[in-house]
Homo-oligomer: A and B are copies of this chain.
């Protein structure tokens, strides 16, 4: 069950009109005029609110006092080469959100599928919102997609934190690297099913602060590798999360 309703612009003392999708969910949760509810703006702020008189398909909600501000004290960016199979992308996005990734990037590598449609991106965005609502994450991860390798590379080079490139032939393991480096921000890079090309590996190696890391002794599917890497990294970043303001709906 969703733990809150989403509206991008919230301010105490105002009334907002929820989208049709969000309004539909209120009905499914049996929230009717007068029912109290939680609201989040997806930027970490959580408010108390009350469902107003019915106004057709888009429900009105009064925004009351702000209850908390939940911004993760870490940044975990998971960059996954676009997968051919949409269902696997859907699963991955849902699980990464639940695990606590703060940014999910899809990119095109030489061996990945050549395109991702606008419709697919919209679908993934909806999955982000739903997974956040389900797991009580008021801070929504950013979803990005890069249709050009060069632009993706430039983006990575300008971001802070380690760039951990998952590569079966690497000598250092992800766990060793995470244990040695005290990180609060990093990017995990997972290549396509056919792996990165040698040229792509050289280019990634040229990025400042990039480290090639091995995940397991067996070959994992691309999206399983992303999940495994995210779980391990989160277990290191999680310690920082403890200093975060209390997650009041736990």
Q: Which stretch of A5-13, A149-157, A230-238 is in the interface?
A: A230-238
- Which of the four size classes fits the interface of chain A? 20 to 34
Residue A52 at the chain B interface, CB threshold 8 Å: no
Pick out which of these stretches binds chain B: A29-37, A60-68, A102-110, A133-141.
A133-141
- The 0/1 profile, CB within 8 Å of B marked 1, for residues 175-193 of chain A is 1000000000000000000
Q: Is A250 an interface residue when CB atoms closer than 8 A count as contact?
A: yes
**A-B contacts, 22 listed (Cβ < 8 Å):** A95-B227, A98-B218, A98-B221, A99-B216, A100-B216, A134-B221, A135-B218, A135-B219, A136-B219, A137-B218, A168-B250, A175-B235, A216-B238, A216-B241, A217-B238, A217-B242, A217-B247, A217-B250, A218-B250, A227-B227, A227-B231, A228-B231
Task: Specify which chain B residues have a CB less than 8 angstroms from the CB of A221 in the assembled complex.
Answer: 98, 134-135
Across-interface contacts of A238 in B (CB, < 8 A) = 216-217
Q: Decide yes or no whether A121 CB sits under 8 A from chain B.
A: no
A220 at the binding interface (Cβ < 8 Å):
yes
Q: Is the CB of B224 within 8 A of A95?
A: yes
Cβ of A234 and Cβ of B247 under 8 Å apart? no
Find residues 41-65 in chain A having any chain B CB closer than 8 Å to their own CB. Answer: none
**Could you say which residues of chain B place their CB within 8 Å of the CB of A241?**
216-217
Name the residue among A95, A135, A231, A234 with the largest chain B CB count within 10 angstroms: A231
Whether A24 sits at the interface, judged by CB under 8 Å, is: no
Is A172 among interface residues, defined by CB-CB distance under 8 A? no
Query: Is the CB–CB distance between B228 and A99 below 8 Å?
Result: yes
A216-B234 CB under 8 A given contacts A95-B224, A134-B221: yes
| A170 at the B interface (CB under 8 A) | no
Residue of B nearest to A228 (CB): B231
Pair A250/B219 contact, Cβ less than 8 Å: yes
Q: How near does chain B come to A88, taking the closest CB pair, in angstroms?
A: 9
Docked pose: A136 CA to B216 CA in angstroms: 13
Choose one: B91, B168, B216; the contact of A91 (CB below 8 Å): B91
A 125-137 binary contact with B (CB < 8 Å = 1; else 0): 0000000001111
Residues of A73-117 whose CB lies within 8 A of B: 91, 95, 98-100
Q: B91 and A224: CB pair below 8 A?
A: no
Q: Which residue of B lies closest to A96 (CB)?
A: B224
